[in-house]
Structure 1
Amino acid sequence: MAEKLKTLHLSNLCLLAVPRGGVVVAAPIAVTLDTVINLLVTRKIGHPANEEVAIGAVMPDGSAIFDQRTISNIGITDDKMEGMIKQGYSEIVRRQLHYIGSTAIPDMNGKEALIVDDGIATGYTIRAAIQWLKTLNPSKIIVAVPIAPPDVVANLSQEVDKFICLVQPDPFSAVGAYYKDFSETKDQEVMQLLQMK
């Protein structure tokens, strides 16, 4: 993926990794493109019956996007949803402070924003990242992931300038099914990769 991105000849790049797994994927890209890794922390809102299934996502500023139809169907009240959003935002702030010691965001004005994650399932966290980034006035938004379902790629491609996805299995099962090792990335590993030059 790093070699594919190199052919885009990005000259005013801001590499934004979605932690934790996105930082691992972004590390060789940062080396190849001779840049540093910045963080873009969004937080999935999981379905009450299965936390792995996203029904929405919280953005770095505490706002959120969510599937209103699903929320109505499963009977999540406004108060409950508000609590889930607050909880997600608290985790975003915790990760920012823990990983980089600050909640400050890089200046994106006129930059080529490259969002990297370890894969996409429903697309909520990346969609939240894209929506939030658009408020920061980048010149381009590019998404690069190793794995995602083809329908999600098709939908998200319409929201960005370039979408790179190496593997688009149909039927799609889960992101982790396409990795030899999809063990949880630890905070310490993220911090080590962020300090990489």
Structure 2
Amino acid sequence: MTEVRLPFTDRTEAGRLLAERLDPPPGAPILVLALPRGGVPVGVEVARRLDAPLDVLVTRKIGFPGQPELGVGAIAEGGEPVFDRTLLDRLGLTREELTGTVAAERAELARRVEAYRGDRPPPDVAGRQVAVVDDGLATGGTARAALRAVRAGGPAGLVLAVPVGAAETVRGLAGEADEVVVLAVPEMFYAVGQWYRHFDQLTDDDVLAGLAAVSRTAP
């Protein structure tokens, strides 16, 4: 097993290392669902190594009104909004006050689903082994929303796989998946990007190129 040294060179290297740690049950076909945009290059390497189909699971952060970088929740395609109730209470904010924000994020989520998948329906996860892949876990809001959306579809098994994550977040997500695979849980975690030498902002075209690079795209 290759030793993990931080920072990773880029998401591609991180994906290759992550793929080495995944060990799906023998004979159980696995579906890789990457969270765009950053999770796609990681998911490409995982899908290649496991000879698995790859698709995206689109998520959107629900930001605090007027301060959108502060995530108070998240939503995933096929799922309902998942809120950080502790943070909402601390901010004195109700779900009803976020109705407009949630509607805007639903619209952007729908736009991205159409851009990435077109008319193709989302993959059926019922009875399948599913690996949800991202490039890292900071607060874990989008990962939680993604896992709950997949779980509602009745998979046979559900794994969350990421190269790096904040310790508290990793612990908090343990109950959302059957297994959480994380290569590194460094101290003093501020942001996912600090653990990559190259952490470029990706575009929709980058996501489409990543999906096209894997021959077995999920039907």
Question: Normalized against structure 1, the TM-score is what?
Answer: 0.91
Q: Distance in 2 between matches of 1:25 and 1:104?
A: 23
Contact 2:29–2:52 (8 Å) recurs in 1: no
Q: Distance in 2 between matches of 1:84 and 1:177?
A: 28
Q: Distance in 2 between matches of 1:171 and 1:189?
A: 30
Identical aligned residues as a percent: 35
Of the three residues 73, 78, 90, the one matched with 2:107 is: 90
Pick closer, same or farther for the CA change 1:56–1:194 going to 2, 3 Å. same
Unaligned runs of 5+ in 1: none
Counterpart secondary structure, 1:102: coil
Of the three residues 38, 45, 52, the one matched with 1:28 is: 45
**Structure-1 residue corresponding to 2:186:** 169
Q: Deviations over 1:84-117 (max 9, x none)?
A: 1111111111111001103722111110010000
**Structure-2 residue corresponding to 1:11:** 28
Structure 1 stretch displaced more, 14-23 or 158-167:
158-167
CA-CA distance at 1:10 after TM superposition? 6.4
Pick closer, same or farther for the CA change 1:191–1:56 going to 2, 3 Å. same
**Structure-1 residue corresponding to 2:98:** 81
Task: Give yes or no for the alignment of 1:102 onto 2:119.
Answer: yes
Q: Distance in 2 between matches of 1:99 and 1:10?
A: 29
CA-CA distance at 1:6 after TM superposition? 4.2
Contact 1:43–1:58 (8 Å) recurs in 2: yes
Q: Deviations over 1:35-73 (max 9, x none)?
A: 221111111112346433321001213620112343344
Question: Normalized against structure 2, the TM-score is what?
Answer: 0.83
Of the three residues 147, 155, 158, the one matched with 2:172 is: 155
Counterpart secondary structure, 1:152: helix
Structure 1 stretch displaced more, 11-20 or 44-53:
44-53
Q: How does 1:47-126 map to 2 (within 5 A)?
A: 47-48=64-65, 50-61=67-78, 63-76=80-93, 78-102=95-119, 104-126=121-143
Q: Give the number of the structure with larger relative contact order, counting CA–CA contacts within 8 Å between residues 6 or more apart.
A: 2
Q: Deviations over 1:143-192 (max 9, x none)?
A: 10011111111121222111100111122111001011111011111101
Contact 2:162–2:182 (8 Å) recurs in 1: yes
Counterpart secondary structure, 1:158: helix
Contact 1:10–1:112 (8 Å) recurs in 2: no
